Amino acid sequence: MSVTIKDVARMANVSVASVSRALNGHSGVTAETQKRIREVAARLRYVPHNAARSLITRRTQTIGALLPDLHGAFFSELIRGIDLAARARGLYLLVSSSHGDATEAAIALRAMQGRVDGLLVMSPHADEAFLDENLPLVLPTVLINSHVRSERHAALDLDDFGGAYAMTEHLLSLGRKRIAFINGPEVNHDVQERCRGYREAMAKAGLADRAVVLPGDFTEESGYHAGKQALAMVPRPDAIFAANDMMAIGCLSALSEAQVRTPADIAVAGFDDIPMARYVSPPLSTVRVRIAELGESALERLVRMIEAPDDAPPEPRTVVGTELVVRASCGGSDTVRRRA
């Protein structure tokens, strides 16, 4: 069938041990024989059988990624970041996404065993009990953007809180006092943090009593409704901060429909910086999430865990920064401000 190390050994008149040493660049083989072996291997198009290698090495050179069913941009950016960082280290990426329920996720997770050296987990189903049940203790794992707060797992989060805080502060700095917030699905961890950031910034400005949170569910439509609701309020808000861009865009429609000027009458801001944000009218101020960087950092962290000796101290929970993207919809001058 396919060519094995034995074939190479036979053709080069050496033992399999020498072939292994030569090809892996180990010492104990003369430069001359190494060259000969290399040539034979190339001529035969020998490629080591990875399964056999990892059986003995206990390394698969592969990391697994357990992901939820994400909407387009976020998903691809995250994978891109992870993949980029992985290939830089000669690692492969085994992905499994979009499992509907916890059972499916569990199956996927278990089947990863013996197939990967480490795991990146970002899943709404992955609560603490789930992890305890399905994660072998020995497998290095990094939780991405998870609500699990256990000390036992490494975790990496988006700075939802900081981003929302910064945007709220920015709106306040522009003289807006009555800032309304459009919430997302309450079960969502990111949403909670964004809302918290908004509330704290308001509180710090002594405007806690003016904070008002309108319901939403991340869809454009819910943003539209929230916009209508805001317009009906007395006194009317002078700014609306939505927990994501799609809702902010829906809100913009509601305002323009009501002949309310943005940003003159009401400023609008979103969160995520989806590609569409700069094309709506007026272009949307938002908080940019550096998703690819989130993926990269997660992978790097994971690699450190894999390579670290068992007694290495666990690293603290880490946070990946956001950027404030100021466009016309909030009345500031266009800038991008990076935040650690």
Partner DNA sequence: GCGCGGAACGTAAACGTTTTCACAGGAGCT
Partner DNA sequence: AGCTCCTGTGAAAACGTTTACGTTCCGCGC
15 vs 335, which CB is nearer to DNA? Answer: 15
15 is a contact residue toward DNA (CB under 7 A): yes
Q: DSSP letters along 124-146, please?
A: TT--HHHHHHHS-TTS-EEEES-
Q: Which of 16, 20, 36, 75 binds a copy of itself (CB under 8 A)?
A: 75
Q: Which of 276, 315, 319, 339 binds a copy of itself (CB under 8 A)?
A: 276
Q: Which of 6, 35, 43, 49 binds a copy of itself (CB under 8 A)?
A: 49
Q: Which of 17, 84, 129, 258 binds a copy of itself (CB under 8 A)?
A: 84
208 vs 258, which CB is nearer to a copy of itself? Answer: 258
176 is a contact residue toward DNA (CB under 7 A): no
Q: How far apart are CA 259 and CA 253, in angstroms?
A: 10
Q: How far apart are CA 127 and CA 310, in angstroms?
A: 24
Q: Which of 11, 14, 66, 252 binds DNA (CB under 7 A)?
A: 14
Q: How far apart are CA 67 and CA 75, in angstroms?
A: 8
| Pair 142, 121: CB distance under 8 Å | yes
Residue (of 240, 321, 247, 245) closest to 284 by Cα position:
245
CB of 85 to DNA, least distance (A): 24
113 vs 318, which CB is nearer to a copy of itself? Answer: 113
Q: Which of 21, 99, 153, 327 binds DNA (CB under 7 A)?
A: 21
Q: Residue 283 binds which entry of DNA, a copy of itself, none, with Cβ cut-offs from 5 to 8 Å by kind?
A: none
Site for a copy of itself, residues 101 to 160, rule: CB under 8 A: 104, 108, 110-115, 136, 138
Q: Which of 131, 280, 287, 298 binds a copy of itself (CB under 8 A)?
A: 280
23 is a contact residue toward DNA (CB under 7 A): yes
73 is a contact residue toward a copy of itself (CB under 8 A): yes
Question: Phi/psi at 217 (nearest 5 deg)?
Answer: -140, 25
Q: How far apart are CA 78 and CA 296, in angstroms?
A: 8
Burial of 272 (0-12, 13-18, 19+ CB in 10 A): buried
Q: How far apart are CA 134 and CA 96, in angstroms?
A: 15
Q: In what order do the strands lie in the sheet with 335-338?
A: 286-289, 322-326, 335-338
Residue 24: how many other CB atoms lie within 10 Å:
9
| Pair 182, 275: CB distance under 8 Å | no
16 is a contact residue toward a copy of itself (CB under 8 A): no
- Binding residues for DNA (CB under 7 A): 1-2, 4-6, 13-21, 23-24, 26-30, 32-33, 46-49, 52-53, 55-57
Residues that bind a copy of itself (CB under 8 A): 1-2, 45, 47-52, 54-55, 60, 62, 69-70, 72-73, 75-77, 79-80, 83-84, 87, 92-99, 104, 108, 110-115, 136, 138, 249, 275-276, 279-281
